[in-house]
Amino acid sequence: MGMFEGKKGLIFGIANDRSIAWAITDQLAKEGAEMGFTHLPDSDPARPKAEKRLRKLVDPIGAKLVMPCDASKDEDLDTVFAEAEKTFGKIDFVLHSMAYAPIDELKGRVTDVSREGFKLSMDISAYTLIAIANRAEKILNPGGSILAMTYLGGETVIPGYNLMGICKAALESSMEYLANELGPNGIRVNALSAGPLRTLAASAVGEFDQMQKLYMGFSPLRRNVTHEEVGKTGMFLMSDVCSGVTGEIFHVDGGYHIMGAPPHDVQESAE
């Protein structure tokens, strides 16, 4: 019997089969979870590309709900959670795996970020966690879990991550405040901070190949992590095994985040 047999949840943020949200979903499905999913609304309903791309992944694992959702619109979130309550009654977990910044704002200097670009990026990358938690609280079972995806750039400066780092810092702080407020209801809120993985979002970050090489050289494990490792950890954090864990930023990065300077062997090879 899997750890999620009888458990039900909602997944926000699968873009394709390289998404971290999909890696976590895959592990949840293997453990018996029943899930509902959202995708970005298709601009042309006659050619539902986003829906088809998502269904190709989730229909084979028995998706109970597949709906369009623009998480920056309250009415879309209201519709999704109303349908989730109708489909599942109560749920046990929610995965938030969404982030966005206009490409020009992301690649440019933080000093030059526009007011509109900042507001849009913060809305989708950080505020949506609050908006989702507000609605999820009403249908989450005691012992339920909300998990958000973050990155080390929210804790310290990662050149090239720029505006998204500021958004992740806001997301992480929001997660901690939500953990405090929802804790008395038995609801846990955590964030998973993964090392660099090849995803659609990562393609917008400059110098990604160099970043992976840096992690291979600096992290205690001397390698990059895999989608499967991150997926298993996400599943673990939302499981009852982690019933006493909330308000945590849980790193899956080979230990890179603990290093304040290059390891000795890296320093010696550079001399």
- Please tell me the total count of domains within the chain: 1
In this predicted structure, what is the pLDDT of residue 262? 82
In this predicted structure, what is the pLDDT of residue 199? 60
Segment 3-15 shows an average pLDDT of 97
* Cβ-count burial 182-214 (b if 16+ within 10 Å, e if not): beeeebbbbbbbbbbbebebeebbeebeebbeb
In this predicted structure, what is the pLDDT of residue 48? 77
Segment 178-204 shows an average pLDDT of 86
Domain span including residue 219: 8-270
Could you tell me if residue 1 is inside a domain? no
Check pLDDT > 80 for residue 179.
Answer: yes
Q: Which residues contact 82 (CB under 8 A, 6 or more apart)?
A: none
Could you tell me if residue 198 is inside a domain? yes
Q: 201 or 97: which carries more pLDDT confidence? A: 97
Check pLDDT > 60 for residue 271.
Answer: no
In this predicted structure, what is the pLDDT of residue 46? 66
Q: Using N-to-C axis directions, what is the helix angle for 227-238 and 20-30, rounded to 10°?
A: 60
In this predicted structure, what is the pLDDT of residue 178? 98
Could you tell me if residue 249 is inside a domain? yes
Show the tokens assigned to 233: 């950890």
Record the pTM: 0.93
Check pLDDT > 80 for residue 93.
Answer: yes
In this predicted structure, what is the pLDDT of residue 31? 98
CATH of the domain at 73: 3.40.50.720
Could you tell me if residue 140 is inside a domain? yes
Could you tell me if residue 3 is inside a domain? no
Active-site positions read: 151, 161
Check pLDDT > 70 for residue 220.
Answer: yes
Give the start-end residues of each E strand in 91-230: 91-96, 140-150, 188-194
Could you tell me if residue 142 is inside a domain? yes
Segment 212-234 shows an average pLDDT of 90
Do the Cβ atoms of 182 and 159 come closer than 8 Å? no
Chain segment 106-158, per-residue pLDDT in tens: 889 999 999 999 999 999 999 999 999 999 999 999 999 999 999 999 999 98
Check pLDDT > 70 for residue 200.
Answer: no
Could you tell me if residue 91 is inside a domain? yes
Sign of the C-alpha dihedral computed for residues 188, 69, 198 and 113 taken in this order: negative
∠ CA 186-192-195, rounded to 5°: 170
Q: 256 or 146: which carries more pLDDT confidence? A: 146
In this predicted structure, what is the pLDDT of residue 218? 87
In this predicted structure, what is the pLDDT of residue 204? 53
Chain segment 72-85, per-residue pLDDT in tens: 999 999 999 999 99
Check pLDDT > 60 for residue 239.
Answer: yes
Could you tell me if residue 229 is inside a domain? yes
